[in-house]
Structure 1
Amino acid sequence: MTIAALADLRNARRLVIKVGSALLVQDGKPRTQWLVTLAAEIADMRRNTEIIVVSSGAIALGAAKLGLAKGGRGSLADAQASASVGQVELARLWSDALEAHTITAAQMLVTLGDLEDRRRYLNASATLARLLDAGAIPVVNENDSVATEEIRFGDNDRLAARIAQAAGADAVVLLSDVDGLFDRDPCEPDATLVPQVEGVTPEIIAMATGASTSGLGSGGMIAKLQAARIAERAGIALAIVNGTHPTPLARAIDNGTGTIFLPQANANARKAWLGGRLAPSGVVSIDRGCMMALENGASVLAAGIIDIEGEFGRGDLVAVHGPQGERLGQGLIEYTSAECRTIMGLREEQQADRLGYAPRAAVIHRDHMVRI
């Protein structure tokens, strides 16, 4: 199914809908009536489309129950405690809302590691498929009760894109508190909504701000554009629409109000997974000659490496940067960080003397790398 406009979302085979904290929770209390209208829309769409929900709100709900300041985000311990309490309430809200339409809700909590590790990613994919086959709607959230600041998605926008990738979805809808992407701060009187985006370019990123307008969520427009990048690489459309209104999906689709990011490529499953990974273990910086070779589909060779950052082992994910620090891609490294430092800048015939064994064909092979 090709998704080229908001109206096409009604015909998607499989759709991921992300709901933010500010939409679901107000002053520490759930917006139950709003959720009732959304659940009705989901039930209606589900006649033709398999639905997965990615829902925020656990920390906000839990913080209110525990009486914690700053919405439960005053410290990591507060956030984890709030999530532990709030996740129970969040699951109940979704279960009740969907049960009214005789739909079974399934809670699925994931961590960054569940989608960064290839085997665990495939396991999550299988679980999603089985739940959908069984007629349930998976309600997914990051497991904030155990996530740390260093090892977490940090926002459910990118999580939604990764879940869409794992589930083989056609599209993602990010319900936000704005109508979509504007060409500048939407608070400015002459700001214009961008209805369609073909590729998240530096110019598109320049339109965004990283601030969340609600103060409840952890995302913002930058996080949504990062999610769009993950989706577009996997051949998945992504839409940003305003979710603050009752029946937000019908409003956006019928009026064409929102921004849709068109898929740019349909990489094979492994490369799409690689491109969506969010936690590189280090950085390999390359010279201009190597950067130009990458443009023609070459691998990263030791001779073109000018710097190594971080500590990593063979098979770890590393980012590839150009000579000016520009991010070019990421891939699976064939050497440890110590070995990379030993052979960087050396031609193949010089590497064996330094390594004590015959060098591999590449530091990062093109088959195990994606451009960003």
Structure 2
Amino acid sequence: MAILHLDDLADAATTKRLVVKVGSALLVGSDGQPRREWLAGLIEEVAEMAARGQQVVIVSSGAIALGAARMGLAKGGRASLADAQAAASVGQIALAGLWSALLQDRGLGAAQMLVTLGDLEDRRRYLNAASTLGRLLEAGFVPVVNENDSVATEEIRFGDNDRLAARVAQAAGADAVLLLSDVDGLFDRNPAHNGAVLIPHVDGINDEIRAMADAGSASGMGSGGMTSKLQAAEIAERAGIALAIINGTRQRPISAAIAAGLGTVFRTQRRDAGRKAWLGGRLDVRGRLTVDDGCSAALLTGSSLLAAGICAVDGAFSRGDVVAVCDGAGKTVAQGLAEYSADECRAIMGMREAAQHRQLGYAPRPAVIHRDHLVVL
């Protein structure tokens, strides 16, 4: 059954497995202390879901904010990378203990999972994470997932828990992702502007929808705005996973949003197979191939990417790295695993097979990106 409305999220028949993302500004007050009353209300809702037969994964921010308060660090622990990593190390213990204690009060067991970008970008590690999540959920535990900020750097991190939640949902085989925000959902313009209208549901993300997003994070504590939430929705959608955005600032926020009918549901439009869903959600793109119009059109019909259609090569990538495929206007139309390095792609771009053989000095591979390793975005 498809998830079409907010109230479907509370129905075990449509949403057996749900990922709930909680941001720092909701979990931690301006004083650096946990907002225990608000958290107790949310966990009460999680317990009610469990009683209905639903399984819940929580993606929780807050480690850096909690750790910074304990260490007395300036700028919420974000003055430097060293401060952020140290604060995360201290805060992760506090965060795990907080969730564990509150869930236990409701008769639920908690499990902590700290992941890095590489854990979900590497296929084998991704499958290991998926197996762990599945086993925990089957055993009746609530996995609490966070990015491992104590070791992550700017080059190897998700950067926001919106996209992390979508990737975790893919790994967990979830039916839906619920992002708790500081606004009611996606508006047709910045909700601070007069006349802004809430969009109750979105059937496919396009340029018009992307133009509605505001990239800022109002709290100053989080790292993602509406743009990151739309990116999360695109990742989820490729795996046939619905995504919803609601206002998390209210007490018992899920029940409040459902009762008021306030939120945005991004309905699924496609369901890629497991490997392609994982590939389409990968964020660590190492280079870019620009293709001509004929090649771009062929990719949309399921063809492999051939060297003859490549017009330009950017980046320094190796065979097996993920690269973006862009049309002449610079729009990313696909991404996939390259069969050649960047230098080899530059050497053979625009060439047909016979010319490639002469240029490379060996028989060329069937494609630069084989269709089995390519996802149209």
Please give the TM-score of this superposition, normalised by the length of structure 1: 0.99
Secondary structure at the counterpart of residue 314 of structure 1 = coil
- The corresponding residue for 1:120 is 125
Of residues 162, 183, 188 in structure 2, which corresponds to 1:178?
Answer: 183
Q: By how many angstroms is 1:295 displaced? A: 2.4
Secondary structure at the counterpart of residue 26 of structure 1 = coil
Q: What is the one-letter code of the residue matched to 1:187? A: A
What is the rounded CA distance, in whole Å, between the counterparts of 2:262 and 2:219 in structure 1? 20
What is the rounded CA distance, in whole Å, between the counterparts of 1:65 and 1:43 in structure 2? 30
What is the rounded CA distance, in whole Å, between the counterparts of 2:204 and 2:83 in structure 1? 38
- The corresponding residue for 1:212 is 217
Q: By how many angstroms is 1:21 displaced? A: 0.5
- The corresponding residue for 1:8 is 8
Number of aligned residue pairs = 372
Q: What is the one-letter code of the residue matched to 1:239? A: A
Deviations 1:230-283 (A, max 9, x none): 011110000000010100010111221100000110110010000000011111
What is the rounded CA distance, in whole Å, between the counterparts of 1:3 and 1:108 in structure 2? 27
Deviations 1:297-345 (A, max 9, x none): 2211101111111111111111111112111110011111121111111
- The corresponding residue for 2:231 is 226
In the TM superposition, 1:288-307 aligns within 5 A as 288-307=293-312
What is the rounded CA distance, in whole Å, between the counterparts of 2:73 and 2:237 in structure 1? 38
Secondary structure at the counterpart of residue 324 of structure 2 = strand
- The corresponding residue for 1:70 is 75
- The corresponding residue for 1:163 is 168
Deviates more, 1:308-317 or 1:194-203: 308-317
What is the rounded CA distance, in whole Å, between the counterparts of 2:283 and 2:218 in structure 1? 24
What is the rounded CA distance, in whole Å, between the counterparts of 1:218 and 1:257 in structure 2? 24
What is the rounded CA distance, in whole Å, between the counterparts of 2:264 and 2:83 in structure 1? 35
Of residues 363, 366, 370 in structure 2, which corresponds to 1:365?
Answer: 370
Which 4+ residue blocks in structure 1 deviate beyond 6 angstroms? none
- The corresponding residue for 2:28 is 25
- The corresponding residue for 2:145 is 140
Q: Which runs of 5+ in 1 are unaligned?
A: none
What is the rounded CA distance, in whole Å, between the counterparts of 2:330 and 2:2 in structure 1? 36
What is the rounded CA distance, in whole Å, between the counterparts of 2:98 and 2:301 in structure 1? 51
What is the rounded CA distance, in whole Å, between the counterparts of 1:298 and 1:120 in structure 2? 29
Deviations 1:61-88 (A, max 9, x none): 1111111111111111111111111111
Do the aligned partners of 2:170 and 2:239 also contact (CA within 8 Å) in 1?
Answer: yes
Q: What is the one-letter code of the residue matched to 2:268? A: P
Q: Which runs of 5+ in 2 are unaligned?
A: none
Of residues 34, 42, 46 in structure 1, which corresponds to 2:46?
Answer: 42
Secondary structure at the counterpart of residue 270 of structure 1 = helix
Identity over aligned residues, as a percent? Answer: 64
What is the rounded CA distance, in whole Å, between the counterparts of 1:81 and 1:322 in structure 2? 43
Do the aligned partners of 2:307 and 2:349 also contact (CA within 8 Å) in 1?
Answer: yes
Secondary structure at the counterpart of residue 278 of structure 2 = helix
What is the rounded CA distance, in whole Å, between the counterparts of 2:183 and 2:102 in structure 1? 24
Q: What is the one-letter code of the residue matched to 2:26? A: L
Of residues 226, 247, 253 in structure 1, which corresponds to 2:252?
Answer: 247
- The corresponding residue for 1:315 is 320
